[in-house]
Amino acid sequence: MATQVYETDNIILINGTSVFLTPLKIKYLRQFMTAFEDVKKAKDDAEAITALAHCAFITMQQYYPSITTIEEMEDSINLPNIYKLLWIAAGIKINEKAEESVKKQATDSGSSWENLDLVKLESELFLLGIWKDYDELESSLSMPEILTTLSIKRELDYESKKFLAAMQGVDLDKQAGKNNAWEEMKARVFSKGKTDNPNDITALQGVNAQRAGFGIGMGLDYEDLTKK
């Protein structure tokens, strides 16, 4: 059974403070992905690392807002921990020991959020009536939380419709024929952009892992042989 929706971790700042890391809330993820465009445009690793430092600084607005400048962040966090928070915050995976350039590692692992109709997803979620406005919603939820919540909401809606249809002798499961765009989108997000196949091992994380009964981070892992 799954016990968490997303991966978390801790880093220790140079001053000894422990900082708890979770995926970025949408409010900060928007800023992060805008800044990440500079990583894609970087001419070399030096420019890419500078751009990634800006991305990391944005994450600290959520994790440790008392750090108010990039200089303060660089004085407070070593490079391995910067790479760790980039992974937890937005799925940007960088291995210091890899032969590939930092820029290539970052851009290859970064999820492409522009493929998601975020406005539509948030609008559907907003109908639950929990948040007073969209700013509050985006300050409250990360992308894994949005997808997990919507997944359960849609499943409950579908089960309700299926029950009503069954009372009229209609089998919605047969008529739907669905392994649809919603499942493919979730697979893209949970696999960090590696696949849109819900049955791919890299997609078996979070709610997908719970549904399968196992998954990455739950005793099952995999090795990416293309990195060797």
Q: Under a CB-based contact definition with an 8 Å cutoff, are residues 142 and 24 in contact?
A: yes
List residues bridging with 207 in a β-sheet.
none
| Structural element, H or E, at residue 11 | strand 9-12
Output the six-digit token pair for 186: 């979730």
Q: Is the pLDDT of residue 202 over 90?
A: no
Give the pLDDT confidence score for residue 126 in this predicted structure.
93
List residues bridging with 19 in a β-sheet.
11
Of 65-79, 162-176, 183-197, where does the model show the most confidence? 65-79
CA 216 to the chain's CA centroid: 14
Q: What is the pTM of this model?
A: 0.70
Q: Under a CB-based contact definition with an 8 Å cutoff, are residues 192 and 109 in contact?
A: yes
156: exposed, middle or buried (Cβ count in 10 Å: 0-12, 13-18, 19+): exposed
The letter for the amino acid at 68 is: T
| Structural element, H or E, at residue 21 | strand 18-21
Residue with tokens 């407070």: 76
Contact partners, residue 147, CB within 8 Å, separation at least 6: 121, 185, 186, 189, 190, 206, 207
Q: Is the pLDDT of residue 46 over 90?
A: yes
Residue with tokens 């445009």: 41
Q: Under a CB-based contact definition with an 8 Å cutoff, are residues 26 and 142 in contact?
A: yes
Rounded to an integer, what distance in angstroms lies between the CA atom of residue 32 and that of residue 57?
A: 9
pLDDT single digits (tens) 107-144: 887 655 666 788 888 999 999 999 999 999 999 999 99
Q: Is the pLDDT of residue 222 over 90?
A: no
Output the six-digit token pair for 98: 């890899």
Q: Under a CB-based contact definition with an 8 Å cutoff, are residues 2 and 206 in contact?
A: yes
DSSP tag of 199: T
pLDDT single digits (tens) 142-163: 999 998 898 888 888 878 877 7
Residue with tokens 């300050």: 139
Rounded to an integer, what distance in angstroms lies between the CA atom of residue 159 and that of residue 154?
A: 8
Give the pLDDT confidence score for residue 168 in this predicted structure.
77
DSSP tag of 24: P
**In 3-state terms, what secondary structure has residue 34?**
helix
| Structural element, H or E, at residue 20 | strand 18-21
